[in-house]
């Protein structure tokens, strides 16, 4: 996710490559990032943070305790804005690690790697509107941005953060169904992907069109669609998705405890 942000921030001209410094322990990874994007890299997080205006933490939540000490450095000027994309790590935990810093918590998702993601952001106690604006500009480079209270961030994680995994299963299952019905695998997969993409875009471009209304439009009496929907309902697919989001939300909450 960090690399996706770098790629889009540089290509969209939001930040010049020379303005970005990445702290990375792997020498091979540092070399790759530097060569690919022209950015600065370092193995010394203290050096990178000391001059920073914005510090973005893009690691697994389990790794945060190992890097928290790196945030306690003498600063060249004012406290930088801290942005975290770690699932489950609360604003309080972040603010306790960097007293006095403005903090924004963010949850992007993997479609950000192709500029089609969605990111929810939540402001800490010391974050001002300009800080939210800076965060929105960064994540706007990889998709859309919504602002939510932190109490909803675990729900965001369960829905949009984990959601690409659920949708991938849907696409795979649709393609498998096509193969079972006689379609070649490549054709079935292309049809499944385009059907999901097209349906999402139709709903996106029609804000007054509820998904249930779209379902009704393509469901004729005694037709093929209602026959398929009946099988989905019998299998409890709707409930399974609801429970998947709730389970992922609960896991995100547990990661932050």
Annotate 180-247 with DSSP letters as a single string.
Answer: HTT--HHHHHHHHHHHHHHHHHHHHH-TT--HHHHHHHT--TTSHHHHHHHHHHHTTHHHHHHHHHHH
Is the per-residue pLDDT at 233 higher than 60?
yes
pLDDT grade for 77, boundaries at 50, 70 and 90:
low
Residue 155 DSSP class: H
Could you report the per-residue pLDDT of 171-199, keeping only the tens digit for each? 999 999 999 999 999 999 999 999 999 99
Are residues 198 and 86 located together in one domain of the fold?
Answer: no
> 154, 252 in Cβ contact below 8 A?
yes
Measured from the Cβ of residue 242, the count of other Cβ atoms closer than 10 Å reads 11
Is the per-residue pLDDT at 75 higher than 70?
no
pLDDT at 88: 83
Residue 111 backbone phi and psi in degrees, to 5: -60, -10
| pTM recorded for the entire structure | 0.87
Q: Considering its fold, how many domains does the chain have in total? A: 2
Are residues 26 and 135 located together in one domain of the fold?
Answer: yes
Are residues 109 and 201 located together in one domain of the fold?
Answer: no
Is the per-residue pLDDT at 78 higher than 90?
no
Domain boundary among 151, 184, 204: 151
CA nearest neighbour of 111 among 133, 144, 86: 144
Average pLDDT, the chain: 93
Range of weakest confidence among 31-40, 73-82, 83-92, 174-183:
73-82
Are residues 112 and 20 located together in one domain of the fold?
Answer: yes
pLDDT at 56: 95
Strand ranges inside the chain, DSSP E: 21-23, 40-42, 54-57, 81-84, 103-107, 117-123, 143-147
Are residues 174 and 125 located together in one domain of the fold?
Answer: no
Range of weakest confidence among 47-61, 72-86, 193-207:
72-86
Are residues 201 and 108 located together in one domain of the fold?
Answer: no
pLDDT at 95: 94
In Å, how far are 10, 220, 231, 240, 248 from 235, measured between CA atoms? 46, 21, 6, 9, 21
In-domain check, residue 157: no
Q: Distance from first CA to last CA of the chain, Å, rounded?
A: 23
pLDDT at 83: 97
Are residues 21 and 44 located together in one domain of the fold?
Answer: yes
In which domain, by residue range, is 180 found? 163-255
CA 139 – CA 253 distance, rounded (Å): 23
CA nearest neighbour of 134 among 93, 102, 180: 102
CA 17 – CA 134 distance, rounded (Å): 17
> 146, 120 in Cβ contact below 8 A?
yes
Query: The domain that contains 231 carries what CATH number?
Result: 1.10.3730.10
Could you report the per-residue pLDDT of 42-63, keeping only the tens digit for each? 998 887 787 889 999 999 888 8
Are residues 245 and 128 located together in one domain of the fold?
Answer: no
Are residues 172 and 142 located together in one domain of the fold?
Answer: no
CA nearest neighbour of 254 among 62, 58, 119, 56: 62
CA 23 – CA 143 distance, rounded (Å): 24
**Cα of 246 vs its chain's centroid, Å:** 17
Side-chain-side CA neighbours of residue 168 (13 Å): 8
Are residues 133 and 169 located together in one domain of the fold?
Answer: no
Are residues 184 and 128 located together in one domain of the fold?
Answer: no
Are residues 110 and 179 located together in one domain of the fold?
Answer: no
pLDDT at 113: 87
In-domain check, residue 76: yes
Give the pLDDT mean for 108-133.
Answer: 94
Q: What percentage of the chain exceeds 90 in pLDDT?
A: 78
Q: Of residues 209 and 88, which shows the higher confidence score?
A: 209
Query: The domain that contains 54 carries what CATH number?
Result: 3.40.50.720
pLDDT at 73: 67
């Amino acid at each position: 996710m960090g690399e996706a942000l770098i790629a889009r921030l540089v290509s969209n001209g939001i930040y010049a490559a020379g303005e970005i410094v990445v702290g990375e322990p792997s020498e091979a990874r540092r070399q790759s990032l530097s060569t690919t994007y022209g950015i600065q890299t370092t193995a010394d997080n203290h050096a990178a943070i000391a001059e920073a205006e914005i510090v973005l933490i893009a690691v697994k939540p389990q790794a945060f305790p190992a890097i928290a000490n790196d945030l306690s450095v003498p600063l060249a000027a004012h406290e930088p804005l801290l942005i975290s994309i770690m699932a489950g790590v609360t604003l309080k935990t972040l603010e306790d690690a960097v007293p006095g810093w403005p903090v924004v918590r963010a949850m992007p998702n993997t479609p950000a790697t192709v500029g089609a993601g969605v990111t929810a952001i939540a402001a800490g106690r010391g974050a001002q509107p300009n800080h939210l604006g800076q965060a929105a500009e960064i994540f706007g480079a990889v998709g859309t941005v919504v602002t939510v209270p932190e109490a909803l961030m675990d729900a965001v994680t369960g829905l949009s953060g984990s959601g690409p995994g659920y949708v991938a299963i849907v696409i795979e299952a649709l393609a498998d169904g096509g193969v079972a019905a006689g379609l070649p695998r490549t054709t079935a997969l292309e049809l499944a992907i385009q059907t999901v993409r097209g349906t999402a875009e139709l709903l996106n471009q029609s804000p007054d069109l509820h998904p249930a209304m779209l379902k009704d439009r393509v469901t004729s009496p005694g037709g093929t669609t209602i026959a398929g929907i009946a099988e989905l309902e019998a299998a409890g697919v709707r409930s399974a998705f609801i429970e998947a989001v709730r389970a992922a939300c609960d896991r995100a909450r547990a990661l932050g405890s």
